[in-house]
Structure 1
Amino acid sequence: MDFEHGITAIDTGFHRPRFDASHLIVEDGRAAFIDVGTNYSIPGLLAELETKGVRREDVDHVIVTHVHLDHAGGAGEIMRQLPNARLAVHPRGAPHMINPARLVASASSVYGAEEVQRTYGELVPVPAERVVEIRDETVIDLAGRPLRCLDTPGHARHHFSVWDARSQAFFPGDTFGLSYREFDTEKGAFILPTTTPVQFDPVALKGSIARMLLLRPQAMFLTHYSRVADVERLARDLFEQIDAMVAIAESMHGQPERHERIKEGLAALYVERALAHGCAMDEARIRELLASDIELNAQGLEIWLEHGRR
């Protein structure tokens, strides 16, 4: 899907349609990808380049907001196809792009080794000399168009978000949550936070969202899934839900069958809010579409309970 200011959302084909997006920015014949999906996403990204008339040699940057595999799993493979590109990544994530063994092991601990292999394929290392570590306030130059990177922890400690002054929009990875287009209503987009294991920090996450709001963004180009506007309302929704999710987790601390209880609490929260938002789907369908997020959010909250709570 094409937007103004040379921005295109490309469905990576991960899980289901309109679940996971890569964004392509084209400026004066030069290009950058922000998040790239998995190895299986790369043919579609390269096909979009061809559609836009951009040569592979003219892609200057592959930017990954963080190294979770639905965002960066295909980074090594696409770098093999783009001879002049540099991979921009947070300093905490850079070693895992150069040597992805620990990244695979971490994902396998969450999803299982067979599922990681099936879903993401064999991760390809990126040569160290092609990796650029992005620190807070680093500016990436795309043919004279500045892409300003802000350190935005909370979902992960190795996370940054990209501010594009041209479009007055952020590419926030997962810091600004998830908004699936199936949940859109006449009230606009529906959103929920993501606490995917293993580095959820509610205080840092709210701080990162608040920092982005200081720039008064007109839109957010989410990885899950693409452009949302009405940013201040969505931010309020995120703040409310972060607090509610933390409260659910804390109320279950030390309880038997804690994981299932947290999952049920999250499901009830999301269903209630989706219905209040005017979602026309029934409760069973809402739970089905959010099932993987409910599971991962419960895991992330449990890890926070055990290791991250202050």
Structure 2
Amino acid sequence: MQDGDWLIPLGHGVHAIDTGFQRPRFDAAYLIVDEGRAAFIDTGTRHALPRLLGALGALGLAVDDVDWVIPTHVHLDHAGGVGPLMHALPRAQLLVHPRGARHMIDPSALYQGALAVYGQEEMDRSYGQLMGVPAERVQVSEDGMAARLGDRQLELIFTPGHALHHHCIWDPVSRGWFTGDTFGLSYRELDNAAGEPWIFPTSTPVQFQPQALRSSVLRLLAREPEAVYLTHFGRLGHVQSLGQSQMALLDEVVTLGHALRDHPQRHQALRDALGALYLKSLRAHGCTLTDGQILEWLAIDIELNAQGMGVWLDRERS
């Protein structure tokens, strides 16, 4: 990706910032600008800081013009850069789900939890050390609250299912939801020949709750949005059909999880079953990549989704 390709204007004062995490077009932060005031939604990891600040400069904004930093939830690909970014933005307030606030103030437990999932080598390569945010600069969200940005009122709602500390942000100007991971993942490499996106739910450890996720997706759809802004990755339209597709896959994930609950080699069985499910779904969608290419693009997700399904199945059993 060439310099400058990481800043993507989307209309209505919304800009996607490719954070550079893992690969191009994998992880997005968003910058909303209204009447000279700005808000970041998600930040990527701390390695994204030059791009986040570079986006301000490219749009003629100063660091004092940012009112809000709003992570959708505190998983590190969404919020690992919050501390460094807040340090660089002297007037911004952090707006975070109440279940995530303590992890933004003191990220040590968050780091240790991610370390248990990813291991030290990956933590050093992709995430680095975390930085806490002073408590006096942290505001906790409430379900249904409004946050003013210029002349628009952003609305936040609680959306558990992927994570208990997840909220989504409604922008009335674009009539779009910033969905973090609640509305699933969609990679441009897997679009079909007509450019139509494929979407799938994520069950990343450790708080996957299928029924709560379904309820959250239905709540997003009830607003009849014209767009969703996914962290992974980008702005998508045709939201109702994408939501139905995601929930149909979610039902299949639940079914295969229950079928494999007591498998003697459950994790590998879940990995294999998810890979087969995704291949089947993508073939029906018209994806023209080979099976090997598809499985390579989805390797990280298959591993993490299988891990999260295992945690969910064990929690159901207890």
Task: State the shift of 1:286 in Å.
Answer: 0.3
Task: State the shift of 1:138 in Å.
Answer: 1.2
Correspondence for 1:234? 242
Unaligned 5+ segments in structure 2 are: 1-7
Task: State the shift of 1:144 in Å.
Answer: 2.5
Distance 2:120 2:294 in 1: 28
Which has the higher mean CA deviation after the structures are superposed, 254-263 or 169-178?
Answer: 254-263
Is 1:146 matched up with 2:130? no
Query: Structure 1, residues 41-89: CA drift from partner, whole Å, max 9, x if none?
Result: 0101111110000101100100000000000000000001111001110
What SS class does the counterpart of residue 36 from structure 1 fall into?
coil
What SS class does the counterpart of residue 300 from structure 1 fall into?
helix
Correspondence for 2:117? 110
Residue in structure 2 matching 1:189, options 188, 194, 197? 197
The answer on whether the counterparts of 1:217 and 1:231 sit within 8 Å (CA) in structure 2 is: yes
Distance 1:228 1:271 in 2: 22
The answer on whether the counterparts of 1:201 and 1:308 sit within 8 Å (CA) in structure 2 is: no
Which has the higher mean CA deviation after the structures are superposed, 271-280 or 294-303?
Answer: 271-280
Give the aligned residue type for 2:19: T
Query: Structure 1, residues 81-112: CA drift from partner, whole Å, max 9, x if none?
Result: 11100111000000000000110011011111
Task: State the shift of 1:184 in Å.
Answer: 1.5
Residue in structure 2 matching 1:167, options 174, 177, 182? 174
Correspondence for 1:223? 231
Distance 2:44 2:146 in 1: 23
Q: Structure 2 matches for 1:2-17, cutoff 5 A?
A: 2-17=9-24
Alignment RMSD (CA, Å): 1.0
Is 1:283 matched up with 2:291? yes
Is 1:101 matched up with 2:112? no
What SS class does the counterpart of residue 200 from structure 1 fall into?
coil
TM-score by length of 2: 0.96
Distance 2:180 2:151 in 1: 23
Correspondence for 1:134? 141
Task: State the shift of 1:187 in Å.
Answer: 6.2
Distance 2:310 2:232 in 1: 23
Distance 1:222 1:155 in 2: 14
TM-score by length of 1: 0.98
Is 1:301 matched up with 2:305? no
Give the aligned residue type for 1:282: T
Task: State the shift of 1:114 in Å.
Answer: 3.1
Is 1:67 matched up with 2:74? yes
Give the aligned residue type for 1:239: M
Give the aligned residue type for 1:154: G
Query: Structure 1, residues 232-263: CA drift from partner, whole Å, max 9, x if none?
Result: 11111111111111111111111111100100
What SS class does the counterpart of residue 32 from structure 2 fall into?
strand
Task: State the shift of 1:135 in Å.
Answer: 1.3
Number of residue pairs aligned between Structure 1 and Structure 2? 310
Correspondence for 1:77? 84
Give the aligned residue type for 2:241: R
Give the aligned residue type for 1:14: F
What SS class does the counterpart of residue 3 from structure 1 fall into?
strand
Query: Structure 1, residues 191-224: CA drift from partner, whole Å, max 9, x if none?
Result: 0100000000000000000011111001100000
Task: State the shift of 1:117 in Å.
Answer: 2.5
Distance 1:61 1:284 in 2: 42
Task: State the shift of 1:229 in Å.
Answer: 0.7
What SS class does the counterpart of residue 77 from structure 1 fall into?
helix
Is 1:156 matched up with 2:163? yes
Correspondence for 1:119? 126
Runs of 4+ in 1 over 4 A off after TM superposition: none
* Identity across matched positions, percent: 50
What SS class does the counterpart of residue 84 from structure 2 fall into?
helix
Correspondence for 1:268? 276
Task: State the shift of 1:118 in Å.
Answer: 2.2
Distance 1:102 1:282 in 2: 40
Give the aligned residue type for 1:70: D
